[in-house]
Amino acid sequence: AQTVTQSQPEMSVQEAETVTLSCTYDTSESDYYLFWYKQPPSRQMILVIRQEAYKQQNATENRFSVNFQKAAKSFSLKISDSQLGDAAMYFCAYRSAYSGNTPLVFGKGTRLSVIA
Partner 1 sequence: NAGVTQTPKFQVLKTGQSMTLQCAQDMNHNSMYWYRQDPGMGLRLIYYSASEGTTDKGEVPNGYNVSRLNKREFSLRLESAAPSQTSVYFCASSVIPGHSTNTEAFFGQGTRLTVV
Answer yes or no whether residue 65 interacts with partner 1 by CB under 8 A.
no
Q: Which is nearer to partner 1, 16 or 97 (CB)?
A: 97
* Residue from 21, 66, 86, 107 in contact with partner 1 (CB under 8 A): 107
* Residue from 8, 58, 96, 113 in contact with partner 1 (CB under 8 A): 96
- CA-based nearest residue to 3, from 106, 81, 101, 110: 106
Nearest approach in angstroms of CB 69 to partner 1 is 20
Answer yes or no whether residue 95 interacts with partner 1 by CB under 8 A.
yes
The CA-atom distances, in angstroms, between 33 and each of 40, 45, 46, 60, 84 are 23, 17, 16, 15, 29
Q: Which is nearer to partner 1, 43 or 72 (CB)?
A: 43
Q: Which is nearer to partner 1, 76 or 102 (CB)?
A: 102
Report 7-26 residues binding partner 1 (CB under 8 A).
9
CB 114 within 8 A of CB 12: yes
Query: Which stretches of the chain are assigned E, i.e. beta strand?
Result: 3-5, 10-14, 19-21, 24-26, 32-39, 46-52, 60-61, 64-69, 74-79, 88-96, 105-106, 110-115
Question: What residues line the site for partner 1 (CB under 8 A)?
Answer: 6, 9, 33, 35, 43-45, 47, 50, 52, 91, 93, 95-109
